[in-house]
Amino acid sequence: QVQLVESGGGLVQAGGSLRLSCAASGRTFSNYAMAWFRQAPGKERVFVAGIGRSGGKRYYSNSIQDRFTISRDNAKNTVYLQMNSLNPDDTAAYYCAADIFGRGTMVESQYDYWGQGTQVTVSS
């Protein structure tokens, strides 16, 4: 069983920045591919960013346009999402997800564990 706990969400003005964190339980965190997804009100949950086991492979949704950076610290069992130049379209609940098989994809169904989400609200 893997538990994921997100933090770092909040209210920010357009153009601002936030850093989300996701702390994972378990002793095999370095075997997991990790990702961030988001779900805006009334919309489906979508992929935002993913990172491979060692952090060397990173991949992003086209909608992010180089504004976000995903990273991980395997010593701390934590994955991060640095979000810059935020705009109101980024308003959503952000979810951390773990792929315990380390495949590292953008496909929601291939992620095995999910956090409860953290809300990000960007005001104009």
Q: How far apart are the first and last CA of the chain?
A: 40
Beta strand pairing call for 118-123 and 10-13? parallel
Instruction: Identify the pLDDT of residue 65.
Output: 76
d(Cα 103, Cα 20) in Å, to the nearest integer? Answer: 23
Under DSSP, the state recorded for 90 is G
Nearest to 83 by CA among 20, 27, 22: 20
Instruction: Identify the pLDDT of residue 1.
Output: 87
In Å, the largest CA–CA distance within the chain is 42
Which residues of the chain register pLDDT less than 70? none
